[in-house]
Amino acid sequence: MVFTSCKLSSSDEESIPDERKLSEEDMQNIFYEMHLADAIVMLHMVKLEGDSTVMSYQVDSMIYDGIYEKYGCTRELFEESVLWYFQNDPEELKSIYEKVVDMFNRKIAEMGRIKNDSVAAVRNNTL
| Structural domain boundaries in the chain | 22-123
CA angle 56, 77, 36 (to 5 degrees): 40
Q: Which residue has the higher pLDDT, 84 or 124?
A: 84
- Angle at which helices 24-47 and 75-88 cross, to 10°: 120
The gap from C-alpha 93 to its chain's centroid, in whole angstroms, comes to 13
> Given this model, what pLDDT does residue 114 score?
79
Mean pLDDT of 113-125: 71
Under 8 Å between Cβ of 58 and 118: no
The residue with greater pLDDT, 16 or 120, is 16
Confidence of residue 93 (pLDDT cuts 50, 70, 90): very high
Q: Does pLDDT of 14 surpass 60?
A: no
- Whole-number pLDDT of residue 11: 47
